[in-house]
Structure 1
Amino acid sequence: MNIDNYLAANEANWNDRAGLHAARDGSGYGVGRYIDDRTALSDVVEFDRQLLGDIAGLSAVHLQCHIGTDTISLARLGANVTGLDFSAASIAEATQLARDTGDSVQFVQSDVHRALDALPAGSFDLVYTGIGALCWLPSARAWAAVVSDLLAPGGALHLREAHPILWAMDESLTDDLFLRHPYFEHAEPLEWDDTETYVPTATPLTATKTYEWNHSLGEIVTALIESGLRIELLIEHESVPWEALPGQMTLGTDGEWRLTERSGVAPLSYTLRAVKPA
């Protein structure tokens, strides 16, 4: 298979996930809380709220926004937000959710690599990328170049992402931590075939094949530096917002999962901030 085939399979999978994640029956992302409580924020945005700082009035773009829960959360903190995603079904669900909540958010369908065809270059004060996004992209350098091109001078990237150490672990082995998958970026992706997603859904997936790429922390940081950005902050966390290693994690009151027996042994996620010099 070539790269287009990999990405097409991933797009079909995310189109399949979108309606299940956006269900109004309490399953999926539990989106009813954003409709019922107009101040509710996603757990991912809430976790990083202090690190985000004051974003009121900023022009922001949320790359790989999926059904828009983080996007709406950024708007509720005062940003003027556009969400971008390659999945037509995700964009449709995000648009409907914003209508239902009454939040003013724009959504655009586009592959990240072609974001500059859909959005004006150099016009965003904030580029936001949330958890579980970079593993769907084959090249950290190509992604970083898009981020840099979207940012206005003085603008910043805010990235909260699963740690590449976590992506390298074998989640199917539940009695300890095992590094089994590539830590560094490879041209050939890992292939998965799974009827389940990472949140409870009413029905199984039908488009089950996906392809993922890991990118080391050094590769991500270097790619951003080479694209002209200055790294201002990099914090590694011992938690992640889903049960990434089933049977080995405990859910905290903050909505984050941590290792039960080996807490602190390995980083599970990180927050990075990079600025485009004025």
Structure 2
Amino acid sequence: MSEHGRSEHSLSEYAQANRANWDDRASAHADRGPHGYQVSHYIDDRAAISGVVRFDLPRLGSVEGLRVVHLQCHIGTDTLSLARLGAQVTGLDFSSVSIEEARRLVADTGDDVDFVVSDVYDATEVLTPGSFDLVYTGVGALCWLPRIQPWAAVVADLLAPGGSLFLREGHPILWSTDERLGDDLHLRFPYFEQQEPLEWDSDTTYVEARRPITATRTYEWNHSLGEIVTALIAAGLRIDLLVEHDSVPWEALPGQMVARPDGEFALAALDGVAPLSYTLRATKPASSPG
């Protein structure tokens, strides 16, 4: 078998393991009690929006009437939040269990959101290219993608001329930091995209869950900020905004962070030493007249 063949086979195995993990996480995160994503909040309060979406409202601007696709939408809390802001939203995720839970959630909340099951790289096979005013991607999505260039191409293909990508993500510096070492910031993992992924084995997730995760093995890839920006430019998009933040919406580095009133977590003693997340907006230029 060729080297290329071995690589493609390995990536398929990685994706299968990650999908099993996210299938397992989805049911844990969708708990109707005080655990997981606390989704009952969205059922009880029909005006509630997620902290991730709320954080970026000044940069997001009005989405009223926009056709939006939320890539890697998980159980749909950010997705329905965009719908509550007036957008016509479709959520896409490779986990069928995530999509089942997302559909169950909007059935309970009454929000009008469509959901489809697809790997993000295959999004243009299940969605009409050029039909979206906004492609939205939230925190913790890109690290599950082996290559950033084909992702950027998918984003560009989905957008209508004049449409935009809106991305809030963990900073690649954060993904390079070993969270298991709580005495300082320790850069231990690749900042740049690598051929082979980092392998993890853990029965926990990033929110409090009622039960341990059983599909424990996962594979992740980092992508540098320069690689992400360059890939989007190469796909024909114009970078309009890039803001680095000193916070993230979960306790990414246990023992080194403090909670803020807005639900974000920032470094305590080392506040401001490193960027922890970023917001990026990029636009697909409108077609030239005639």
Structures share a fold, TM > 0.5? yes
Paired with 1:49 and 1:67, the residues of 2 have a C-alpha distance of 21
Query: What's the secondary structure of 1:38's corresponding residue?
Result: coil
Confirm whether residue 13 of structure 1 aligns to residue 10 of structure 2.
no
Confirm whether residue 171 of structure 1 aligns to residue 173 of structure 2.
no
Query: What's the secondary structure of 2:252's corresponding residue?
Result: coil
**Alignment of structure 1 residues 82-231 onto 2, 5 Å:** 82-231=90-239
1:232 aligns with 240
Supply the AA of the counterpart residue of 1:200.
E
Query: What's the secondary structure of 1:2's corresponding residue?
Result: helix
1:31 aligns with 39
Q: CA deviation at 1:25?
A: 1.1
TM-score (norm 2): 0.95
Paired with 1:8 and 1:145, the residues of 2 have a C-alpha distance of 23
Paired with 2:134 and 2:54, the residues of 1 have a C-alpha distance of 17
Paired with 1:230 and 1:64, the residues of 2 have a C-alpha distance of 22
After TM superposition, the runs of 4+ consecutive aligned structure 1 residues lying more than 6 A away are none
Confirm whether residue 66 of structure 1 aligns to residue 74 of structure 2.
yes
Paired with 1:187 and 1:26, the residues of 2 have a C-alpha distance of 39
Q: CA deviation at 1:50?
A: 1.1
Paired with 2:247 and 2:225, the residues of 1 have a C-alpha distance of 17
Deviations for 1:61-104, whole angstroms, at most 9, x for unmatched residues? Answer: 00000000000000000000000000000000000000100000
TM-score (norm 1): 1.00
Paired with 2:56 and 2:48, the residues of 1 have a C-alpha distance of 14
- Please, which runs of 5 or more residues in structure 1 have no aligned partner? none
Paired with 1:276 and 1:164, the residues of 2 have a C-alpha distance of 24
Q: CA deviation at 1:37?
A: 0.4
Paired with 2:184 and 2:58, the residues of 1 have a C-alpha distance of 33
Paired with 2:56 and 2:49, the residues of 1 have a C-alpha distance of 11
Q: CA deviation at 1:26?
A: 1.3
Confirm whether residue 57 of structure 1 aligns to residue 65 of structure 2.
yes
Supply the AA of the counterpart residue of 2:62.
D
Identity %: 67
2:89 aligns with 81
Supply the AA of the counterpart residue of 1:152.
A
Paired with 2:126 and 2:104, the residues of 1 have a C-alpha distance of 20
Q: CA deviation at 1:233?
A: 0.1
Paired with 2:12 and 2:80, the residues of 1 have a C-alpha distance of 30
Confirm whether residue 262 of structure 1 aligns to residue 270 of structure 2.
yes
Equivalences, count = 278
Q: 2:252 aligns with which of 241, 244, 258?
A: 244
Paired with 1:173 and 1:142, the residues of 2 have a C-alpha distance of 34
CA-atom RMSD in angstroms: 0.5
Paired with 1:61 and 1:120, the residues of 2 have a C-alpha distance of 11
2:5 aligns with none
Query: What's the secondary structure of 2:20's corresponding residue?
Result: helix
Supply the AA of the counterpart residue of 1:182.
P
- Please, which runs of 5 or more residues in structure 2 have no aligned partner? 1-8
Query: What's the secondary structure of 2:135's corresponding residue?
Result: strand
